[in-house]
Amino acid sequence: MRRALCLLTTLVHEYKNMSMKNTKNFKEWKFKEPPSYAELPIDDNPEYNVPVAVKNAVFSKVPTEPLMGKVQLVCFSDDALTEILDLDPAVAESEEFVDFIAGKYLPEGGLTVCHRYGGYQFGVWADQLGDGRAHILGEYVNSKGETWQPQLKGSGETPYSRFGDGRAVLRSSIREMVASEACHFLGIPTTRAAALVVSEEHKVWRDKTYSGHARQESAAIVMRLSPSWFRLGSLEILDKRKEPHTMKILVDHIIKHNFQDIRDDEDKYVNWYTEVAHRNLDMVATWQGNYMPY
What are the backbone angles phi and psi of residue 287, rounded to the nearest 5°? -60, -50
What are the backbone angles phi and psi of residue 116, rounded to the nearest 5°? -95, 125
Q: What residues of the chain score a pLDDT lower than 70?
A: 1-20, 291-294
Give the per-residue pLDDT at 3: 37
Query: Considering Cα of 228, then 165, then 219, then 72, what sign does the dihedral take?
Result: positive
Contact in structure between 122 and 128 (CB atoms under 8 Å): no
What is the C-alpha to C-alpha distance for residues 54 and 42, in angstroms, rounded to an integer?
Answer: 10
The span from the first CA to the last CA of the chain, in angstroms, equals: 40
What is the C-alpha to C-alpha distance for residues 18 and 143, in angstroms, rounded to an integer?
Answer: 11
What is the C-alpha to C-alpha distance for residues 59 and 271, in angstroms, rounded to an integer?
Answer: 26
Give the per-residue pLDDT at 6: 33
Give the per-residue pLDDT at 13: 34
Three-state DSSP string of the chain: CHHHHHHHHHHHHHHHHHHHHCECCHHHCCCCCCCHHHHCCEECCCCCCCCCCCCCCCEEECCCCCCCCCEEEEEECHHHHHHHCCECHHHHHCHHHHHHHCCCCCCCCCCCEEECCEEEECCEEEEECCCCCEEECCCEECCCCCEEEEEEECCCCCCCCCCCCCCEEHHHHHHHHHHHHHHHHCCCCCCEEEEEEEEEEEEEEECCCCCCCCEEEEEEEEEEEECCCCCHHHHHHHHHCCCHHHHHHHHHHHHHHHCHHHCCCCCHHHHHHHHHHHHHHHHHHHHHHHCCCC
pTM of the complete model: 0.89
Domain ranges of the chain: 21-229
